[in-house]
Amino acid sequence: MSQGSIEVYESEDRTFSPLADFAAVALAGDDSLYTEAEADFEAFWARQARALLDWHDDFHTTLEWDLPFAKWFVGGTLNVSHNCLDRHVNAGRGDKVAIHWEGEPGDTRTITYRELLADVQRFANALLKLGLRRGDRAAIYMPMIPELPVAMLACARIGVAHSVIFGGFSPDAITDRCEDAEAKLVITADAGYRRGAPSPLKPNVDSALAAGGPTVEHVIVVDRCGTDPAMTPGRDLWWADLMAESAPDCPAEPMDSEQLLYLLYTSGTTAKPKGIMHTTGGYLTQVCFTHKYVFDLRPDTDVFWCAADIGWVTGHSYIVYGPLANGCTSVMYEGTPDTPRPLFRGDDRGGWPKDRLWDIVERYGVTQLYTAPTAIRTFMKWGEEWPAGHDLSTLRVLGTVGEPINPEAWMWYHRHIGGERCPVVDTWWQTETGGHMISPLPGATVTKPGSATRPLPGIFAEVVDAGGAPVGAGGGGHLTVTRPWPSMLRGIWGDPDRYRQTYWSTYEGRYFAGDGARVDDDGYFWLLGRVDDVMNVSGHRISTTEVESALVDHSAVAEAAVVGAKDEITGQSIVGYVILVGKVEPSEELRQEIRAHVGVKLGPTARPKAVFIVPDLPKTRSGKIMRRLLRDVADGRDLGDTTTLADPGVVAEIRDRAAAADDED
Ligand code: WTA
């Protein structure tokens, strides 16, 4: 097959049976996990919590459920950083590698559990010296460097909740998040390497704090790229100076099981992102459990690699907390899969080599790789000769997350990365769920490409129709979770009503995930994507409303509507339709300027792929924008029923304009 072509497999019914080798490891003595959890899910999770974690004080009540508010492992105390670090060192595993880190330019660091613990203790002391205390919040805006997990674990050690802000976000996003959480501190770096050059971070923090965030007292800066950023005297402090002055020992304080561990902001259906709250005991239990079982972990020998960014929940749970709680060795990589570097194979195709990931898998002997369907589709496009040039035989399990995976991408991953030897685990979950919810267990589950299979042991999910009744085999509807789970969100920061309204009001007594799903004759779940106004671009959640607000923020734009169009690589891409104010004349430059404006407001991930200037927007007679029609236009589909429109002529005109304009990228 030549580079660039995509192999299409027959879409006949395919199943992949579990391999005995995996069953033996993952479920040794535990093959009754599903039945045990079915019989008494609280007892099941209580057993896992005690088996997987070190508790300072045992809990007396497994679950207090006052719908929709849950408390897990009530009365228990523990420390997340102790569970991720100290207990492994105390057990004689201090010299084990915790993180094989690789920077984008090719610099590397090997960090043992002992070294990581030492850094975390010093940094925790630095935080204490700056006056941070249990219950405070600290914002973290960093590249993928080892100081990022150090900062998170140091916060956890002393009970400060972190709020990690993805490094691709703009100053506005930093201001909003600092203000909403009333953060006392921002931890950042001068810049991080991105596609061969330093991408500035500290200047964004400066702009953000010039605009707001009055509670922020200090900014701690790691010197990653030597870009010599401006430092505000009294407020800004260098990481290295603080570490040098800091005392080495900082005991891990026992925290209540329900102590806030972190906030992670995610897009909802309004312009204001939600601060999703995760707490201590339940979160760590489920993340540790799922990391161990879903990836068939053999902690002594495995080299686990989650190729996500810690700015998203996937990185929180499966780069930092899960792998470290399980005491395994992980890989952490700073850059992108196609970073510029010299071609080391005789190759005359020019351009950047596209085998960075496969080179890393080979050099570190990676055993599990966890990535997103978007990335897999990109690798398909680049061609299978890139992975074929590397020895990937150490891989045992492949995982995907973030969006529905199309069966062709699943098969390609299975064949060209997994050598047809590795089970593929398609894991469905959300920022809100904290950890995996629906996923195969390697060795136990028959997989079908494109299906996340069944809820994990201890998780109870159902697909319901519009009236809230469970659909039978072959039915489709909305995905709901029917019982509380340990790593569930505990709420939306500062907004309990929105929490109840968003997740618990659509179907009585059920958590509404916002995803559509189908159930097949075997009871397998097939996820169909979001059913609300949330787009999923390369596995990143972006709300249509957020982008619409950024569009109308441009002085030439009067009104805007945004939809997610189908995209072969990124799953969805953002398409905006705008009406201009008064007498402003449409032009190609203006279209580009408006598009760029969103990139500045929200960061490059949210920049629309295309912006169309239109005379009007299709609205129902009650004034609601008909997004379905705009999606149809964006996808080039037939327009279907337009009879509810106030002015049916509008759509035809929009379609003609959209067809006339070229795609932007
Ligand atoms: C989607 C990422 C299909 C889904 C962990 C969900 C998936 C949203 C899958 C959460 C999957 C995640 N199959 N869809 N395996 N995994 N999703 O909060 O729409 O960034 O609601 O969490 O991603 O995205 P979030």
Instruction: Give 251-292 pLDDT, tens digit per residue.
Output: 999 999 999 999 999 977 667 789 999 999 999 999 999 999
Choose among 86, 652, 534, 95: nearest CA to 271.
534
What is the CATH number for 297?
3.40.50.12780
Give me the pLDDT at residue 131, please: 98
How remote is the CA of residue 96 from the centroid of ligand 1, in Å? 33
Same domain, 453 and 499: yes
- What percent of the chain is predicted at pLDDT more than 90? 69
pLDDT in tens, 44-64: 999 999 999 999 999 999 999
Classify residue 254 by its DSSP letter. Answer: P
Which atom number of ligand 1 is nearest to the Cα of residue 530? 19
Same domain, 555 and 411: no
How remote is the CA of residue 539 from the centroid of ligand 1, in Å? 7
Residue that finishes a domain, picked among 488, 503, 518: 503
All residues at 6 or more sequence positions from 395 whose CB lies less than 8 Å from its CB, including other chains: 361, 366, 367, 368, 369, 417, 418, 419, 421, 422
pLDDT in tens, 583-609: 889 999 999 999 999 999 888 889 999
Same domain, 385 and 266: yes
Provide the angle, in degrees to the nearest 10, between the axes of the packed helices 588-602 and 171-181.
30
Residues found in the chain: 665
The residues lining ligand 1, judged by C-beta closer than 6 Å to any ligand atom, are 266, 312-314, 401-404, 426-431, 452, 513-515, 527, 529-530, 536, 541
Task: Give first-to-last CA distance, the chain, whole Å.
Answer: 26
Residue that finishes a domain, picked among 503, 518, 541: 503
Q: Three-state SS for 145?
A: coil
Give me the pLDDT at residue 109, please: 98
Give me the pLDDT at residue 559, please: 83
Distances, alpha carbon 253 to alpha carbons 76, 121, 158, 161, 256, in Å = 13, 12, 6, 14, 10
Which has the higher per-residue pLDDT, 604 or 496? 496
Domain range spanning residue 493?
20-110+250-503
How many H helices and E strands in the chain?
22, 29
Which has the higher per-residue pLDDT, 135 or 378? 135
> Which residue in this structure is represented by tokens 């914002």?
139
Classify residue 605 by its DSSP letter. Answer: G
Distances, alpha carbon 191 to alpha carbons 142, 166, 203, 227, 617, in Å = 8, 13, 9, 7, 41
Q: Whose CA is nearest to atom 23 of ligand 1?
A: 402
How remote is the CA of residue 239 from the centroid of ligand 1, in Å? 34
Average pLDDT over residues 337-343: 68
Give me the pLDDT at residue 7, please: 33
Give me the pLDDT at residue 95, please: 98
Round to whole Å and give the CA distance between 478 and 464: 5
For residue 524 the two structure tokens come to 């397998």
* Number of domains the chain is built from: 2
User: Which of 274, 370, 430, 438 best tests ligand 1's pocket when mutated (most atoms within 8 Å of CB)?
Assistant: 430
Same domain, 487 and 559: no
How remote is the CA of residue 645 from the centroid of ligand 1, in Å? 33
Same domain, 300 and 421: yes
Determine, yes or no, domain membership for 129. no
Give me the pLDDT at residue 204, please: 97
Determine, yes or no, domain membership for 302. yes
Give me the pLDDT at residue 341, please: 61
Average pLDDT over residues 399-416: 93
Give me the pLDDT at residue 6, please: 31
> Which residue in this structure is represented by tokens 């010599």?
228
Least confident residue range of 75-84, 109-118, 196-205, 615-624 = 615-624
- What percent of the chain is predicted at pLDDT more than 70? 90
Please report, as a single letter, which amino acid is at residue 420: E
Round to whole Å and give the CA distance between 126 and 248: 10
- Cβ pair 329, 101 in contact under 8 A: no
Same domain, 366 and 427: yes
Which has the higher per-residue pLDDT, 210 or 348? 210
Which atom number of ligand 1 is nearest to the Cα of residue 452? 15
Same domain, 417 and 456: yes
Which atom number of ligand 1 is nearest to the Cα of residue 405? 13
Round to whole Å and give the CA distance between 93 and 324: 12
Which atom number of ligand 1 is nearest to the Cα of residue 528? 3
Residue-averaged pLDDT of the chain: 90
Which has the higher per-residue pLDDT, 31 or 172? 172
Q: Whose CA is nearest to atom 25 of ligand 1?
A: 430
Determine, yes or no, domain membership for 214. no
Give me the pLDDT at residue 645, please: 58
Q: Whose CA is nearest to atom 5 of ligand 1?
A: 430
Q: How many CA atoms within 13 Å lie on the side-chain side of 252?
A: 24
How remote is the CA of residue 433 from the centroid of ligand 1, in Å? 10
Determine, yes or no, domain membership for 627. yes
Q: Whose CA is nearest to atom 15 of ligand 1?
A: 428
How remote is the CA of residue 428 from the centroid of ligand 1, in Å? 6
pTM assigned to the model = 0.88
Give me the pLDDT at residue 5, please: 30
pLDDT in tens, 634-661: 887 766 555 555 566 766 777 776 666 5
- Side by side, which strands form the sheet with 161-164? 236-238, 218-222, 185-189, 137-141, 161-164, 260-266, 274-279
Round to whole Å and give the CA distance between 80 and 55: 10
For residue 309 the two structure tokens come to 């960014």
Give me the pLDDT at residue 406, please: 87
pLDDT in tens, 513-541: 999 999 999 999 999 888 887 888 888 88
CA angle 178, 182, 187 (to 5 degrees): 50
